[in-house]
Structure 1
Amino acid sequence: MLGNHVRESIIQARAELYAKTEWAEYHSHLKHRVHAKDLHKYFLLTESEEIGIKETIRLNVSASPYYLKLSDPFDPHCPIRRMIVPDSHETVLSPEESPDPLHEERLSPVKGLTHMYPNRVLLFSNHSCTVYCRHCMRGRKVSANDERMEEADLIQAFAYIKDHPEIEDVVISGGDPLNLPDSRIEWILAELNAIPHVRLCRLGTRNPVTLPFRITKSLLTILEKYNDDSLSIFCNTQFNHPKECTQEAKEGILRLLKVGISVGNQAVLLKGINDDKETMLQLHKKLLEMRVRAYYLYDPELIPGSRGFRTPLGKGIQIIEYMRGKIGGMGIPHFVNDLPAGGGKITLSPNWYLGYNPKTRQHAFRSALTGKVHYSFEPESSESFTYPILGENVWDQLE
């Protein structure tokens, strides 16, 4: 009886939350975000989740009513729930983990700016998000008040960009830049648009997933204004599970596309959430239906308390191998590892290429479609290349 009473209470609390939220108004969702102290009202918490909420060593808890509604209050294995609610894994710091595994702070010449690659920089526009995803790799900055980017900090960042003509591409991240007011977003885009050598701007935002109502007419007007011959603006978001591919999300994406903002997806491979071949395939099929192109599939970073999300490296390679031949190429992400200590991104893929046989001047490949070996001839060339050599014994045994 007590169990039924608790369940009814949770269902009622959710209904009341949704009723008081003006559903199509993003400000209302931000106003009524659910925080750690109130999670027990909306979920039948496990002991592990109660420990995680009390002792998390990472970042704050927050979820919009919209995103909360996608979660299951009674299933602790719900993929959306696991991205909202901390659990006991999050309270443990493993020896290999670091708050800043990519050394972004070491590569930061001024506050809020990381200059890892020669021709592009990462600009941290703010510290706030609609949902504080439990797998967030920037927990050291996100939700931390001392990481707030004031106007003076942004002016200093713009000055650095202006003084470095090699910078062509600026990624605006955070936090979530779309959690900023329209006026601040317009100011940032106007500043970048006015720098002659900055030609590309990429908005890194999860709001199309967690709060698609943020894609408002006024925001679109701003994006369209500065997406011109001087500056090309792109949007990269993060759908991690098919449950996130809602009609509201699709409508938000279509609004971006209609003002010329192309959208790419950067999923994160997460244990127990999407580390399943068919789940990842269905996610990317849904994304193509939403006109979102696959970009990256990230191997999780070695951040504090992340052991509950990390998968073996081979899992990502297996998933990419499974997807090839079952979906168009624009729906298959690059599986990437952002190397620790500031080494940058590298792509990882199945080994379709078997090697080269100098005697026959042929390359051997394993087909992703048929599983059979196929051959291709090497043309004559004055250039010299090094290939893995397949000896005669191996060559003769290929099937």
Structure 2
Amino acid sequence: MLSNFSPEEIESNRKDLFSRTIWEDPTSQLAHRVKGNDLSRYFLLTDSEKKGIEETIRLNVSVTPYYLSLSDPFDPHCPIRRMIVPDSRESVFSAEESPDPLEEERLSPVRGLTHMYPGKVLLFSNHSCSVYCRHCMRGRKVSSPNERMAKEDLELAFDYIRSHQEIEDVVISGGDPLNLADSRIDWILGELSSIPHVKICRLGTRNPVTLPFRVTEELCKIIESHNNDSLSIFCNTQFNHPKECTQEAKAAVLRLLKAGVSVGNQSVLLKGINDDPEIMLSLHKKLLEMRVRAYYLYDPELIPGSRGFRTPLNKGLEIVEYMRGKIAGMGIPSFVNDLPGGGGKITLSPNWYLGYYPKTRQHAFRSALTGKVHYSFEPVDSEEESKYPILEESIWEKLNENNTSRL
């Protein structure tokens, strides 16, 4: 049973936790992570949250003191809290959900490796994260000790990569690869660097957000030593809300940039957290100030217990449309759906292109800036006209009428 604490006790417990933690020491942060049964010491839990903690069908609960400090102990709608504390919706396994909606296990030729795209593989480096985010799409593996990747497992994965010369790009994920020891990270990057046909390595890590102190000078020196003419290393992280854009997070990003590592952001669209155009715009403005470029905005996966996070598909289109013209293009993410069944990622965008009118050889576009229709001509020697959606006469005339009325 979860204990009940008063607001005064909760504030006192938080102060005690923060004082016991050596704040900028990642090892101390990890040692003082808060687990599920202790959440009531640091949050005034709702009945729904108590049920979620006790009956979740998802991954374990764990949060660093640093990330917990960004949350509101008394507001159940706090966006950071929502990503930390389960609620009752995590206890429901809906009919449309699957533990592995992308069928990564089916596409896994050896343990810990997914080969979905011809020239790219996903390497599951470890099962541990600094914070077990409630929306994690790999809840079937993350936080489970049974999914630990031994060195022998990783060696088999490297053997597979060596034997498939079409593989040029390796995404290292998990868990969080930066939760591994420096020596293990050094070894993994060294192995990849020794494979001639591997040209790109992408580190998928949320530690710049949840444990920025893990991005140490020593770690960055290791990464920089492998970031060379034979292997280009990138980092993709996941900021989901402006509250995560702290000075500590910015310092971690700057350390990576100084090591020559480009940092991109992959947000997940989450109901009640960031499914608001102004919140998403604010987030990406802050990210540009931190020198982080927008990469993806993910439509949530159909994972067990995720009903509380999923949004209508149109919400992502609405957000991307709203952002266009209000921020530099490098601050606007591509809205993507990672197709269930292992179909891979597809990008979705607002309907800027309206169609083609053969009589005048013109394409019609809707401007994100003005809302007006703008026209562009097809080359006279084009042989591609049959590939465009044709605008009927009535629609063409209506577009022109609407344009005139806006003048």
Query: What's the TM-score, normalizing by structure 2?
Result: 0.96
Amino acid at match of 2:272: G
Partner of 2:191: 191
Deviations 1:175-221 (A, max 9, x none): 00000000000000000000000000000000000000001111011
Higher mean C-alpha deviation, range 49-58 or range 381-390: 381-390
Amino acid at match of 2:60: N
Deviations 1:122-171 (A, max 9, x none): 00000000000000000000001110000100000000000000000000
CA, structure 1 residues 260+219, in 2 after alignment: closer, same or farther (shift >3 Å)? same
Partner of 2:34: 34
Give the Å deviation of 1:383. 2.6
Give the Å deviation of 1:5. 7.4
What secondary structure, in the 3-state scheme, does the structure 2 residue paired with 1:291 have?
coil
What secondary structure, in the 3-state scheme, does the structure 2 residue paired with 1:254 have?
helix
Partner of 1:202: 202
Distance (whole Å) between structure 1 residues aligned to residue 273 and residue 156 of structure 2? 40
Partner of 1:369: 369
Deviations 1:321-379 (A, max 9, x none): 00000000000000000000000000000000111100011011110000001111111
1:64 paired with 2:64, answer yes
What secondary structure, in the 3-state scheme, does the structure 2 residue paired with 1:263 have?
strand
What secondary structure, in the 3-state scheme, does the structure 2 residue paired with 1:342 have?
coil
Alignment of 1:85-104 (within 5 A): 85-104=85-104
Distance (whole Å) between structure 2 residues aligned to residue 301 and residue 320 of structure 1? 19
Distance (whole Å) between structure 1 residues aligned to residue 52 and residue 108 of structure 2? 31
Give the Å deviation of 1:259. 1.0
Partner of 1:272: 272
Partner of 1:323: 323
Partner of 2:53: 53
Distance (whole Å) between structure 1 residues aligned to residue 395 and residue 135 of structure 2? 44
Q: What is the CA RMSD across the aligned residues, in angstroms?
A: 0.9
Amino acid at match of 2:221: T
Partner of 1:226: 226
Partner of 1:298: 298
Q: How many residues align?
A: 396
Distance (whole Å) between structure 1 residues aligned to residue 60 and residue 237 of structure 2? 21
Distance (whole Å) between structure 2 residues aligned to residue 275 and residue 49 of structure 1? 21
Give the Å deviation of 1:384. 2.6
Higher mean C-alpha deviation, range 380-389 or range 369-378: 380-389
Partner of 1:396: 397
What secondary structure, in the 3-state scheme, does the structure 2 residue paired with 1:178 have?
helix
Partner of 1:358: 358
Deviations 1:62-121 (A, max 9, x none): 000000000000000000000000000000000000000000000000000000000000
Partner of 1:289: 289
Partner of 2:130: 130
Distance (whole Å) between structure 2 residues aligned to residue 340 and residue 5 of structure 1? 42
CA, structure 1 residues 5+216, in 2 after alignment: closer, same or farther (shift >3 Å)? closer
Amino acid at match of 2:398: Q
Deviations 1:16-46 (A, max 9, x none): 0000111111110000000001000000000
Contact 2:5–2:41 at 8 Å: present in 1 too?
Answer: no
Query: What's the TM-score, normalizing by structure 1?
Result: 0.98
Partner of 1:182: 182
Percentage identity across aligned positions? Answer: 76
Distance (whole Å) between structure 2 residues aligned to residue 18 and residue 161 of structure 1? 43
CA, structure 1 residues 71+20, in 2 after alignment: closer, same or farther (shift >3 Å)? same
Give the Å deviation of 1:382. 4.8
Amino acid at match of 1:23: W
Alignment of 1:13-24 (within 5 A): 13-24=13-24
What secondary structure, in the 3-state scheme, does the structure 1 residue paired with 2:365 have?
strand
Partner of 1:378: 378
Give the Å deviation of 1:394. 1.3
What secondary structure, in the 3-state scheme, does the structure 2 residue paired with 1:256 have?
helix
Gaps of 5+ in 1: none
What secondary structure, in the 3-state scheme, does the structure 2 residue paired with 1:224 have?
helix
Report runs of 4+ in structure 1 exceeding 3 Å deviation: none
Partner of 1:80: 80
